[in-house]
Amino acid sequence: MDVPLILLVALIAGIISIGMALYFAKLVLKEDPGNERMVEVSGYIKKGSKTFLKVQYKILGIFVVVLAVALLFLPSPFEQSTTYNRLIPGALNWEQMIAYIIGSFGSMMAGYLGMMTGVETNTRSAQGCTVSTKKGFDIAFFGGAVMGLAVVGVALIGISVLYWIIPDPMIVLGFSFGASSVALFMKSGGGIYTKTADVGADLVGKAEYNLPEDDPRNPATIADNVGDNVGDIAGMGSDLFDSYVASIVAAMMLAATLSIIGTIWGTMSDAIRYTFVVFPVVLSGVGLIASLICIYLIKIKKGEDPGKLLNLGTYLATIVFGGLAAIITAVMTLGLSNEEMIFLWKLYFAVVIGLLSGLVIGFTSDYFTSDDKKPTRTIAKSAQEGDAVVILSGFSYGLLSVVPPAIGIVVAMAAAYLLSGLFGVAMAAVGMLAIVGTIVSNDAYGPIVDNARGIAEQGDLGEDVIRTADKLDSAGNTAKAITKGFAIGAANLTVLALMFSFATEANDIQSGTIDVVNLLNVDVLIGAFIGVVVPALYSALLVLAVQRNAAKMVDEIRRQFEENPKILTGEQAADFNKCIAIATKGALKELILPSIIAIAIPISVGILFGVAALGAFLTGAILSGFVFAIFMSNAGGAWDNAKKWIEDGNLGGKGTATHKASITGDTVGDPFKDTAGPSINTLLVVMSLTASIFLGFLMLFGNGAGLLIF
């Protein structure tokens, strides 16, 4: 079967994206890195980031090899044909194993390229702030764009080439599984690292010794800056790479399943069926083109307000994508029957609904976390009443912030389903991440300007430059809140689509006998209950990991201050390497158990209670995971910005009891917003992909009924 040539749109867009990422990296590296002290600090950050990733990639390499061998011997649930419903006993799963390795490597390379550009950009952005706000913004934004374009480019090239060689979505599923398993390590490991340093630096440097943010006398300062790169750039990049690929694959798999297009499917030729399968890939390529156009428009746009420029890029990318996607949809309707043409247009509108829903979720996160909005200022004012009250206030607003995104997801699901069934829901997830090039660029901008602010202070650039860098950093905090909202919303729609796909696959194999929704079945109810608990368990493990490592960091900072008082007077330099080593060793040790859980628990549920229970398990995990992810991300962001608002001189400013109470809130919120919260996205995707990848294996246990039959 010939793959439709329209798939070239995605492949060409991916190649252009990689080329533009390299071009932007070259432009950024030409900029002035600043004075000798700035280059020295940036060198520390670069060395620490490379050291962490080097050790992490060694562990990842072992994990990837072991899992690749396991995939090789797994029974493939589908034959590579248009039937997609026959087991192949005894066949080695070479294609899926190779796709898995490619996906793993692609995710690691995208994260590494973006992070290394980020650590080179931070000092140049700080130096750019000596010229103007726009100059500092441009350097930071285009440094972040390298990450955004690399993520999307690698994803589209990988999916397009694999599907062109072997036109079977199950093979592309292996690519997605590789991306997700790596993202799980990158996000959880990077999150533990960055918050170990951040919490330690705040508890001792700020709360006990009243040191300013990013003060070079604080031994954890460099480790904190390293964490911004390995957690917020490499980690978040891998996270969105994973969600992006999974959303496309989920839609492709549903399109390839015979039942989803209902009455019109039976009359379609193979060529038309394949047109629907590649439709999500092609629209993702169009989304990348829209992102490229808007990145250029931001470059030439005049203005000094970085927040408005970032938001403008998101709005413009949405509008440009809507127009380009309509054109490409019209092209793809050529040769279709009236019924098929109408269905394709319905899919287009499902994509638009998903994208608009993503905007609603993203800007809802902005409302609950921005320091110029009521929730964050209310939390800041509550700090006047003490630590306990600021915790209660942030906790409550975090819970409240779950409601609007939930409504957005429900509306998007309902509208997409009414338009085109389960396939429409999957396409809404594709739409939500269609402009992911812009989203990742905005997200990577955040940690770059955060580092730039620290380097400006440590490089003695003066208060005016530091205030300019603060302005960029404030916009970065808002941008990160919006991108996290996008990521959480998209991840949930994606895993819902993956769950639908899993259920459909299982029913095809079992001739429609598997019921994944009947909660009157005890095994199904058990599966759902276990699923509800897993995001809580996973979050607890990550937060406890931060707590344990941060305690070691606190002890080390106190030791240095007590044993060498000259550090506080600035007469001697702090030992940054000790703190970097604590964060690195602790993060790599602590990430192993949560990563194993993400794969082991769904397989165990399938073996013990059956495939139907596993479907219910995914449903429970998705629903509770959504609540945990939104709550922790927004509560953490609000606590952080409440502290920053006070530090700007409000409510008495720095050094007051109110400020110290806000630091407590920020310390609680740090592992919420940067470790556990965003990592749940990846957890849900990995568990959903594991269920589909191991479906053939699970059918060996009681023909899918499990070992414990009730």
Range of lowest pLDDT (9-13, 30-34, 184-188, 393-397): 184-188
Read off the pLDDT of each residue in 670-677 and give the average, rounded to a whole number. 85
Read off the pLDDT of each residue in 374-403 and give the average, rounded to a whole number. 93
Give the integer Cα–Cα distance in Å for 547 and 568: 25
pLDDT of residue 532: 95
Range of lowest pLDDT (58-62, 227-231, 449-453, 683-687): 227-231
Judge contact between 7 and 160, C-beta under 8 A: yes
Give the integer Cα–Cα distance in Å for 668 and 444: 23
CB neighbour class for 558 (10 Å; exposed up to 12, middle 13-18, buried from 19)? middle
Task: Give me the percent of the chain exceeding a pLDDT of 90.
Answer: 19
pLDDT of residue 420: 82
Q: Name the residue with higher pLDDT: 660 or 78.
A: 660
Q: Report H helices in 510-591.
A: 522-563, 566-569, 576-590
Q: Name the residue with higher pLDDT: 619 or 305.
A: 619
Mean pLDDT of the chain: 83
pLDDT of residue 84: 38
Read off the pLDDT of each residue in 43-69 and give the average, rounded to a whole number. 85
Q: What is the pTM of this model?
A: 0.84
Q: Name the residue with higher pLDDT: 342 or 254.
A: 342
- Max mean pLDDT range (268-282, 361-375, 545-559, 671-685): 545-559
Instruction: Kindly tell me if the per-residue pLDDT of 303 is higher than 50.
Output: yes
Instruction: Kindly tell me if the per-residue pLDDT of 702 is higher than 90.
Output: no
Read off the pLDDT of each residue in 419-434 and give the average, rounded to a whole number. 85
Instruction: Kindly tell me if the per-residue pLDDT of 180 is higher than 60.
Output: yes
Give the integer Cα–Cα distance in Å for 186 and 107: 9
Instruction: Kindly tell me if the per-residue pLDDT of 519 is higher than 70.
Output: no
Instruction: Kindly tell me if the per-residue pLDDT of 24 is higher than 80.
Output: yes
Residue carrying structure tokens 């413009």: 316
Task: Give me the percent of the chain exceeding a pLDDT of 70.
Answer: 91
Give the integer Cα–Cα distance in Å for 672 and 679: 10
- Max mean pLDDT range (23-37, 378-392, 586-600): 378-392
Give the number of C-alpha atoms closer than 13 A to the C-alpha of residue 655, restricted to the C-beta side. Answer: 5
CB neighbour class for 270 (10 Å; exposed up to 12, middle 13-18, buried from 19)? exposed
Read off the pLDDT of each residue in 272-290 and give the average, rounded to a whole number. 88
Read off the pLDDT of each residue in 186-202 and give the average, rounded to a whole number. 82
Read off the pLDDT of each residue in 55-76 and give the average, rounded to a whole number. 83
pLDDT of residue 398: 93
Read off the pLDDT of each residue in 698-710 and give the average, rounded to a whole number. 80
Instruction: Kindly tell me if the per-residue pLDDT of 214 is higher than 80.
Output: no
pLDDT of residue 563: 87
Read off the pLDDT of each residue in 50-75 and give the average, rounded to a whole number. 84
Instruction: Kindly tell me if the per-residue pLDDT of 607 is higher than 90.
Output: yes
pLDDT of residue 254: 80
Read off the pLDDT of each residue in 236-256 and give the average, rounded to a whole number. 81
Read off the pLDDT of each residue in 37-50 and give the average, rounded to a whole number. 84
Give the integer Cα–Cα distance in Å for 174 and 98: 8
- Three-state secondary structure string covering 166-216: CCCHHHHHHHHHHHHHHHHHHHHHHHHHHHHHHHHHHHHHHCCCCCCCCCC
Range of lowest pLDDT (464-478, 509-523, 608-622, 646-660): 509-523
Q: Name the residue with higher pLDDT: 359 or 140.
A: 140
Residue carrying structure tokens 């050790």: 55
150-165 burial, b if ≥16 CB within 10 A, otherwise e?
bbbbbbbbbbbebbee
Instruction: Kindly tell me if the per-residue pLDDT of 681 is higher than 50.
Output: yes
Q: What is the pLDDT of residues 326-352, one digit of tens each?
A: 999 999 988 888 888 888 899 999 999
Read off the pLDDT of each residue in 76-86 and give the average, rounded to a whole number. 42
- Residue 391: name the closest of 36, 672, 598 by CA: 672
pLDDT of residue 75: 66
pLDDT of residue 78: 46
Q: What is the pLDDT of residues 462-517, one digit of tens each?
A: 888 888 888 888 777 667 667 767 777 777 777 877 777 777 777 666 554 454 45
